[in-house]
Structure formats: C-alpha cells, structure tokens
Amino acid sequence: MKPTTCKHESRLLREARESSISTNSGDHLATCESCSTALRVDQLLMADAASVPALERMPDPALVWWRARQQERFRQTARATLPIQIAERLALALGALGLVIGLTMTWPLVRATFDRWLVGWVRGFSRVVPMDESSLILALTGSLFLLVGFGLYTQWAEQ
C-alpha cells in the first residue's frame, strides 16, 4: 500500500496548531483520509511531547561533546607531562640534597664569611670588604637557597 499525501496537509496542520481551522478546512478534513490521519498523528505526537518532562532543560549536545573532548585533552596532557613533572621533582630533590651536602662541607667557611659581613654591617661598612673565595661561596650558597626555595614554592603552588 502506497501512502498518499494531500497538498493541503501542511496548511491544515499549521491551522490546527494555531487552533484556527476554517470551515473549508473542516469540510476537507471530513472527506480527506490523508489529512485527517496526519492531524490525528500530529495531535498524538503533540500530546506525547507535552507529557515528556522538561526537555528544554537538557544541555546542548554540542556543549556536552565539547566538554568531553576538553576533559580528554586534559587527561592526555596530564599523561604526556607526567615524565616532565617527575624530572622536575627529581631535580628539585637532587638540588636540595646538593645544597645540604655543600653546606655541610663548607659550613665553617660560610659561617666565618657571614660573621665578617655581619661585623662589617654593624660598623656601617666603613671600609670596603674585598670579594674573596669565601664571599663567592656565600653568594653561591644564598643563590642555591633561593633556587631550592623557589622550586619548593612552585611545586607547592601546583598542588
């Protein structure tokens, strides 16, 4: 059986949805089986759509897809940068270990230099203290402290 469609079907459906069926359209509905069937199906579908709870509150599928892709990219980025994060932490730990070993080995020299600088500061730096090897070691030690401290801060800030 081949379905037949009427050329007035779309106009009648539009009129029925607007609740303004004219007398000519009513007479046509009484005689045309295709239009009356289409109108009954349309009314059933509209009633069924009205009974479905709040479909307009469902999120946009494109937004759901975009968020899923973004989360997948985040997981891939985290997985790809894991070796870099491990290397950063290892370098930080080795730097801190090197600082501790270096301070242990040069502590008497560092303390003597610091004492000399402290005495110079108390006296108001009346004479210029020449840069010797101990001053260089103290400057390097201070730089290492800053470097390890900055590394610890960045690791703490990431988490």
The amino acid present at 158, given as its one-letter code, is E
**pLDDT at 152 (0 to 100):** 79
User: For residues 116 and 58, what is the distance between their CA atoms, to the nearest angstrom?
Assistant: 73
**pLDDT at 26 (0 to 100):** 76
**pLDDT at 1 (0 to 100):** 43
**pLDDT at 144 (0 to 100):** 79
**pLDDT at 9 (0 to 100):** 81
Half-sphere exposure of 19 toward its Cβ, with a 13 Å CA cutoff? 0
Give CA separation, 148 vs 7, 108, 111, 143, 159, in Å: 82, 22, 20, 9, 17
**pLDDT at 133 (0 to 100):** 65
Mean pLDDT for each 10-residue chunk of the chain (159 residues)? 69 78 75 83 80 68 90 94 89 84 81 74 59 68 81 78
User: For residues 110 and 122, what is the distance between their CA atoms, to the nearest angstrom?
Assistant: 18
Q: DSSP secondary-structure letter at 127?
A: S
Give CA separation, 104 vs 111, 141, 142, in Å: 11, 11, 14
**pLDDT at 72 (0 to 100):** 95
pTM over 0.75: no
